[in-house]
Amino acid sequence: MRDRLELAVPGAVVGAVGGLVAGVLAAVVGQPYAWAATVSLGLAVPLGVFGGVLGLLLGSGRVRMGVFAPVALFWLVGFPLARLVGEVFTGAVLGGRVLPDDVVGFLAYQGIVSFGWSLGFLWLHERIAPHWLDRVRSGNPLAQRWFERYAAHARVLRAARR
Amino acid sequence: MDTPNPPGQLSGGDATPGTVAPSPSSERVWRAGRLEPMPIRKLPDAPPSVHVLGPTVFLVALGVGMGESYMWPRLVLLFGPEIRWLFLIGVTLQAVVMLEMARYAMATGESIFFGAARVFKPIMWFFFTVAILVYIWPGHLSAGAAALEEMTGVPWTVSACVGLILVGVVFSLAKVIYNLLENVLSLLIGLLVVGTAVVAAMVGTWSDVVSTITGMFHFGYFPSEALSATWFPIVVGSIAFAGPSGMQQMWYTLHLRDSGAGMGAHIPAVRGLRHAGEEEQMPSRGFMFDTDDADEMRKWKGWRRWVTFDALLLFWGVTMLVTVSFTVLAQAASRQSPNVKALLESGEREAALNAMSDSFAAAGGPALGMVFLGFIALIGLNATLGLFDSFSRGQADMTYHFVRGAKRFRMSHLYAGFLWGVIVFGILVLLFGPADGPGAILDVLAFLSTFAMGAYCVVLLLVNNRMLPKPIRPRLATNVIIGFGAVFYLGMLLYSLVRFGVVVS
């Protein structure tokens, strides 16, 4: 179980970072911490959870690494749901409306934005994942296998340069 | 102009004597123009998977700038989303230009500047001069640094000067500059893309994004107000600034080479000043692969697929995403505060960006306003990092190959010379002079920047159709698009000048 959870870390981190951006900046510029924390949590937790699930799919080889289409399909569903959870959470904690006025329109719009999110997610994930796997692979055979796939790719690129 | 080999044929023997690289007389070469022939080498295999990271990150860093975050949102607010069909044409044209730049660089390992010199050396000197005239002014720092001032209170000239010195020090200490910069820019752009998506998701609405996207397909829409002396030059400038502008596409060929794409694998990468001693000897020309060999052509197709993916998804996709997002943000801001539209119309860039930030703060909480300013600062930082590296890389490449006696130095020394030259000049201008350049020559600089884009389309046609073996030359359709690009940029520029007496803005 722990081995699998470790595979989910890079995806969860990238997902959570996207959600934390707004809250962290709010805290830096002196906004009430409670407000900043609520917005951050509402976005970072669901995006982090979905990011972690996608990391597991990538790590287990069910989704091909470094390729855009399957990641975009995953987030086409995951991003709107994560946003909806965030809206409901923020509305419930801070008071005010819990659901958006037009839920279908809201989800459709978030679906379009999800393509941009997918691109950024994949971009950052491909930067972070190899470093993380290198750290944990000694005690984690699943991470070792995934790392090997990155290493094989890097070897081919290095051979091409020679 | 010298005639290259008969189409599809490589010749043996007589490489120019006195060159740095050893060239046995029996070696097979590809002759292109009057300059030294290119020895035949093996083309490396293309990356096994369509991997998401490539040198396009530089083009995105340079290209996603004020055009995407300010100029196009401004035009949409003034003339409606239908005006965006011109953006679609501009960015798509740039994606094709990118693919054609890559064709020469990946086939030879030479920059497009070297290719231009093979056609006619003065063309290369023209670009060398334009780069110095247009890109030594540090005005491009102002938008990002001003956003930082708004966030932190630190005067923008201070952060700009500190930033300049930091860039110089980091690039001088780096072992391989390309690797360092690709890592840094990838993270910054990744953050920008992820963050922009989150903010757009929070601020925008379904109708905003629908009108923004459908607006891209109103081909031929051109309101009469846009056809005036005030607005036409701005529209032309915005089209030129859709994606990479000026010489940024030409510099991309150098990044492609340093990333080891195609025949660039045979050229050593530029190192930071501290590691200049470890740099391998730079060959005096590029290399060609055997285009008569079916296996080599198979590998070539692999490289073309790789770069096409880069061009379409990363370059076209990210540029579109950022512009659509910022246009949605601008529409949301103008609904919140009519002041935004007035400021955009008057061309007060910093004031308009600050007003947009304020309106986001009012709509979605103070953090959103800060996030918006953070993005403007991030875009400015990306562009500055990319620009300083690219300028120094391009000038060093031309100097090394074409200035007599320059080969005494290593490429890394020349790179560092241009880098620190532009940094010191930039600091002096920031402290004592006009950041965008002397007022009297601003029009000339704007003209040159757009003229260079029309000129490089012509250069691409000449270089790719005359200097490459026939099997890897562009198809007719591609040539027509690049030819259209030349007419488009030069035609609009001259029309603006002749009809309204104004160059692009």
The domains located in chain B, with CATH, are: 41-500 (1.20.1740)
Cβ–Cβ under 8 Å, residues A67 and B49: yes
Domain extent for A156:
2-161
Q: Which residues in chain B are contacts of A64 at CB distance < 8 A?
A: 49
Cβ–Cβ under 8 Å, residues B293 and B139: no
Residue in the block written with tokens 């910054």: B188
Cβ–Cβ under 8 Å, residues A102 and A144: no
Q: What digits encode the pLDDT tens for the residues B353-370?
A: 777 677 666 655 666 667
Question: B20 pLDDT exceeds 50?
Answer: no
Rounded mean pLDDT, B447-475: 93
Give strand pairing partners of B12: B28
Helix, strand, coil percentages, rounded to 5, for chain B = 70, 0, 25
Please, which residues 458-487 of chain B have a Cβ atom closer than 8 Å to chain A?
none
* Structural domains counted in chain A: 1
Residue in the block written with tokens 């997902």: A15
Tell me the C-alpha distance between A64 and A46, whole Å.
23
Of A34, A47, A24, A123, which Cα lies nearest the Cα of B374? A24
Cβ–Cβ under 8 Å, residues B91 and B318: no
The model's pTM is 0.81
Tell me the C-alpha distance between B408 and B76, whole Å.
53
8 Å CB contact of A28 and B45: no
Q: Which residue of B has its CA nearest to A69?
A: B313
Q: What is the pLDDT of residue B7?
A: 43
Q: What digits encode the pLDDT tens for the residues B56-90?
A: 666 676 666 666 777 787 888 888 888 889 989 98
Q: What is the pLDDT of residue A80?
A: 94
8 Å CB contact of A35 and B186: no
Give strand pairing partners of B28: B12
The structure tokens listed for A6 are 């470790």
Q: What digits encode the pLDDT tens for the residues B311-331?
A: 777 788 778 877 777 777 777
Of B63, B72, B43, which Cα lies nearest the Cα of B292? B43
- B165 to chain A, any CB pair closer than 8 A? The answer is no
The structure tokens listed for B325 are 């997002």
How far is the CA of B2 from the CAs of B33, B117, B119, B463, in angstroms? 5, 12, 8, 12
Measure B448 CA to nearest chain A CA, in Å: 34
8 Å CB contact of A25 and B367: yes
